[in-house]
Amino acid sequence: MTTTTALPYSVQWDDTHITLLNQQALPTITEFIKLYSVEDVFDSILKLKVRGAPAIGLTAAFGVALGANQDGSTDLGEFKQNVTKHIKKLASSRPTAVNLFWALKRMENILQAAKSIPAAKEALILEAKAIFTEDEEMCRKIGEHGLSLFAEGDSILTHCNAGGIATARYGTALAPFHLAKERAFPIKVYACETRPVLQGARLTAWELMQSGVDVTLISDNMAAHTIHHKQINGIIVGADRIAANGDTANKIGTLGLAILANHYGIPFYVAAPSSTFDLSLESGTSIPIEERNGDEITFIQGVKIAPDNVKTFNPAFDVTPNHLITSIITENGIISPDYVKNIPLFVN
C-alpha cells in the first residue's frame, strides 16, 4: 500500500491506553491525549475530541477492548455483564453516526462468542484492530473511486471534515484529495468553515494544508457565491448514516449545499464506507438527529457572541434526500441512482 499523507493517526491502540489526537485543540495545538478508561473514551466522543463517523466507531471499539482488558472478574458471566455495560455506555455517547453502533455490535458478537476471559480479552483487542485496519483500507479505496470522478484542474467544494483524522486514515470525502496530491494531479479544494464548531476551518483546512493540498477556506454563507463565481465543478461530503434509499445524514449545512449543487447543475457526491449504511432504515426520516448544547452557537472558541438567554436550536446533522445525490462513493465502487435497487449490490 502506498503512503499518501504525512498526517498522524488520530487514534492509536497502545496496550494500556488509547492515544488520541485531540481534535478540539486543533489547529492551534497539535496535542495527543491518553485515554485510560471507558469513561475517558465516552467523554472524548461526547466532547468531539474524537469525531467523524468511522473514527468514533473505531475509538469506541478500542474503548471496549480497554474496558475488557482492565476487568478483574474471574467469572465469565460477570465479565460479560461488565463489558456489556461498557458497550451500552459507549453507545449512548452520540446518536447519529451508525458506525458507532456497527463497531459496537461487532465487539458484542466477539464478547458473546468467547469461551474464557483471557480468550475474550485477546479476541476483543484483535477485533478492534481489525476494524481499524479495515477502515484504513476502505478509505484508501474510496479515495481511488472518488478521484476517478474528477478531472485535472477541477475545483471541488467540501463541508465539515471527512478526512484522515475522522477515520483510521485517508478519510472519505477528503481521500481523493490526498491521493491526488500524491499523484501530482492538480485539484483545488474549497472548504466551508462549518459552523457551529468549525470542523472545516479548524480541521479540513489544517489537514489538507498538512498534506500540501491546495485548499481555500470560505465561510458557510459564501457557498452559493463561490460555486457561481469560482467555477466549482462538484461538491463532495462524508456521511454519518445512509438509509436504504440513499437518504444521507451528514453535518448540518450539507442539505443546503446539495440544493445549491442541484440549482447550479453540478454533481453532489457522498463518500462513505459500507459501515456507514443503515439498511434497516427505509429512508432518512427515521435517522436520529443529534441536538447539541446551544453554547456551541452562542460561543465561538470560548468567546460569547450572542445575548444572554437567547433561545437556540442546534441540530448537528441534516438529511439530504436521495434525489439530490448524484452518486455515493464506497470502497466497493460508485453507486448511482436508483439507490433502493443499487445499494444492495455494493453494500450488505
Ligand X SMILES: CSC[C@H]1OC(OP(=O)(O)O)[C@H](O)[C@@H]1O
The distance of closest approach from Cβ of residue 320 to ligand X in the complex, given in angstroms and rounded to an integer, is: 11
Stretch that binds ligand X, among 14-22, 143-151, 159-167, 209-217 (CB under 6 A): 159-167
Nearest CB to ligand X, comparing residues 68 and 271: 271
Q: Which phi and psi angles does 251 have, rounded to 5°?
A: -50, 140
State yes or no: 25 annotated in a binding site.
Answer: no
Stretch that binds ligand X, among 65-73, 113-121, 234-242, 297-305 (CB under 6 A): 234-242
Nearest CB to ligand X, comparing residues 123 and 284: 284
H helix intervals, 92-116: 98-113
Alpha carbon distance 316, 175 (integer Å): 23
154 catalytic per annotation? no
For residue 240, state whether it binds ligand X (rule: CB under 6 A).
Answer: yes
Whether residue 220 contacts residue 199, with contact meaning beta carbons closer than 8 Å, is answered with no
Whether residue 306 contacts residue 298, with contact meaning beta carbons closer than 8 Å, is answered with yes
CA distances 24 to 77, 87, 199, Å, are 38, 24, 9
Among 164, 176, 196, 238, binds ligand X (CB under 6 A): 238
Residue nearest to ligand X (CB): 238
The distance of closest approach from Cβ of residue 256 to ligand X in the complex, given in angstroms and rounded to an integer, is: 14
For residue 196, state whether it binds ligand X (rule: CB under 6 A).
Answer: no
Q: Is 114 helix (H, G, I), strand (E, B) or coil?
A: coil
State yes or no: 89 annotated in a binding site.
Answer: no
The distance of closest approach from Cβ of residue 88 to ligand X in the complex, given in angstroms and rounded to an integer, is: 21
Alpha carbon distance 295, 274 (integer Å): 33
For residue 284, state whether it binds ligand X (rule: CB under 6 A).
Answer: no
Ranges within 200-219 binding ligand X (CB under 6 A): none
Among 59, 250, 326, 330, binds ligand X (CB under 6 A): 250
User: Residue 231: CB partners within 8 Å, gap ≥ 6?
Assistant: 155
For residue 160, state whether it binds ligand X (rule: CB under 6 A).
Answer: yes
Burial of 2 (C-beta count, 10 Å sphere; 0-12/13-18/19+): exposed
Given 71, 220, 240, 247, the catalytic residue: 240
For residue 172, state whether it binds ligand X (rule: CB under 6 A).
Answer: yes
Cα separation of the two ends of the chain: 25
What are the cell numbers at 173? 470525502
What amino acid occupies position 212?
G
Among 20, 54, 165, 179, binds ligand X (CB under 6 A): 54
Closest CA to 203 of 149, 254, 158, 136: 158
Ranges within 290-319 binding ligand X (CB under 6 A): 316-317
CB environment 100-125: b (16+ within 10 A), e (fewer): bbbbbebbbebbeebeebeebbebbb
Residues 315-344, one symbol each (x = binds ligand X by CB under 6 A, - = not), give -xx---------------------------
The total of other beta-carbon atoms located within 10 Å of residue 75's CB is: 9
Ranges within 14-53 binding ligand X (CB under 6 A): 51-53
State yes or no: 51 annotated in a binding site.
Answer: yes
What are the cell numbers at 271? 463518500
Nearest CB to ligand X, comparing residues 111 and 165: 165
State yes or no: 244 annotated in a binding site.
Answer: no
Binding footprint of ligand X, residue count (CB under 6 A): 17
Closest CA to 325 of 224, 199, 204, 234: 234
State yes or no: 115 annotated in a binding site.
Answer: no
Residues 114-153, one symbol each (x = binds ligand X by CB under 6 A, - = not), give ----------------------------------------
Site residues (vs ligand X, CB under 6 A): 51-54, 160, 162, 166-167, 172, 199, 237-238, 240, 250-251, 316-317
- List, as residue ranges, the binding site for substrate: 51-53, 94, 199, 250-251
Which of the residues are catalytic?
Answer: 240
